[in-house]
Amino acid sequence: MTHAPLTLAQEFVLLASDRETHKRKKPAKSYLHTYAAGAVLIELLSEEIVRINDKGKVEAARHEAVTDDAAALMLDLLERRKPQTLKKWIQSFYSQSKVRSALFRMIVDPLVASGAMTEESYQVMLLFPASRYVPTADSKNRIVERIRAELLENGPVDRQTALLALMLEMSKLVRNYFSEYEGNELKARLARLHEEQGEQWKSIRQIRKAMEELNAVMVSAAVSASV
Amino acid sequence: MQSELVTVSELVQLSGMRYSTLKYYTEIGLLPFVQLDAGLVRRYPRIRALERLEDIRSLKDKGLTIQQIVEHYSAGPVG
């Protein structure tokens, strides 16, 4: 069986939108969408299609045609809008539901088309029709198995696998899929990656910083929402 | 015996690798198996599977990622 390669954002969405693994608290749609938008930006940063300039603002590093719709929309937004910091971009995705929903649909539509996710209809408070995306067990397991096979065994780690594990760590999703022992091993391995694969990981510091900024925005949004 | 078939649990014990890793290698076509009709149980030819795992280990030691190892086998005849 062959599987089309998924983007970082698609893999993150498959793992983050799984309601089964969120026993205590289901992820709010706005958080999930904003993290997914952040994943699109992080992937573009890691591919060096986008960079953070000397003033700390996000800009296109090279004009390249991308085949992924969500990445194409993100590049279009970067070109059309005033340059701003990554933190500001994340804040704008969080506050502008129209943009983040459009990005999210572009991320999930291919997943629904390929059968990796299904779209379920439900009613909010038994009154208002709504829909949610549910990942299939196979699609989730395959990603988790890949993370185990790469990060918890010896050998080099693919860039996307490491970025995904970093995102899971930052968004506190590691414990949903890995035991405490495995989670600690993952964390330790991620910390060692810079030394092990220094050449391929030149931009990891910048990406880690980008993820920290993404996470900081989401944490402050959560605090504001709870007061 | 070349034809001896083992389960994934036995292969975990023989290889010392994680169950999830063997399952992943199987899913992406790195590990040869036969599927018996009844219950669709996957069985692995012991010697071939262990040789393949050793081969994968040595390719990883040479710096190949799993994706590159898949491409390596796709490029040549798969054992």
Long-range pairs for B8-11: beta carbons < 8 A, 24 or more residues apart = B8/B42, B8/B44, B10/B46, B11/B44, B11/B46, B11/B49, B11/B50
pLDDT for residue A9: 96
Asked whether the beta carbons of residue B20 and residue A155 sit closer than 8 angstroms, the reply is: no
**B35 reaches A (C-beta below 8 A):** no
Average pLDDT of the segment spanning B52-66: 94
Tokens of A222: 């959560």
Residues in chain B with CB shorter than 8 Å from the CB of A158 are 65-67
Residues in chain B with CB shorter than 8 Å from the CB of A144 are 20
Count of all residues that appear for chain A in the document: 227
Asked whether the beta carbons of residue B61 and residue A153 sit closer than 8 angstroms, the reply is: no
Give the integer Cα–Cα distance in Å for A42 and A51: 10
Q: Which of residues 158-177 of A touch B (CB under 8 A)?
A: 158
Long-range pairs for B36-43: beta carbons < 8 A, 24 or more residues apart = B41/B7, B42/B7, B42/B8, B43/B5, B43/B6, B43/B7
pLDDT for residue A26: 61
CB-based contact A118:A133 (threshold 8 Å): yes
Longest dimension (CA), chain B: 40
The DSSP secondary-structure symbol of A120 reads: E
Strands A58-60 and A50-52, by their bridges, are: antiparallel
**B70 reaches A (C-beta below 8 A):** no
User: What does the pLDDT look like over B34-54, one tens digit per residue?
Assistant: 987 666 788 999 999 999 999
Asked whether the beta carbons of residue A156 and residue B64 sit closer than 8 angstroms, the reply is: yes
Position with higher pLDDT, A198 vs A99: A99
- Ranges assigned E (strand) in chain A: 50-52, 58-60, 117-124, 128-135
Residues in chain B with CB shorter than 8 Å from the CB of A160 are none
Whether A202 shows a pLDDT value over 70: the answer reads no
* Percent residues over pLDDT 90 in chain A: 41
Tokens of A135: 């990942």
**A142 reaches B (C-beta below 8 A):** yes
Give the integer Cα–Cα distance in Å for B10 and A27: 39
Asked whether the beta carbons of residue A154 and residue B27 sit closer than 8 angstroms, the reply is: no
ipTM of the complex: 0.74
Asked whether the beta carbons of residue B67 and residue A156 sit closer than 8 angstroms, the reply is: no
User: What does the pLDDT look like over A40-92, one tens digit per residue?
Assistant: 998 998 888 998 888 989 998 887 778 899 999 999 999 999 999 888 898 88
Asked whether the beta carbons of residue B66 and residue A142 sit closer than 8 angstroms, the reply is: no
Give the integer Cα–Cα distance in Å for A171 and A156: 24
Whether A2 shows a pLDDT value over 60: the answer reads no
Count of all residues that appear for chain B in the document: 79
Nearest to A131 by CA among A9, A36, A29, A23: A29
For chain A, the domains span 8-137+202-226
Residue A51 pairs in a beta bridge with A59
Residue of A nearest to B23 (CA): A145
Q: Given this structure, which CATH class describes domain B5-75?
A: mainly alpha
Least Cα separation, residue A143 to chain B (angstroms) = 9
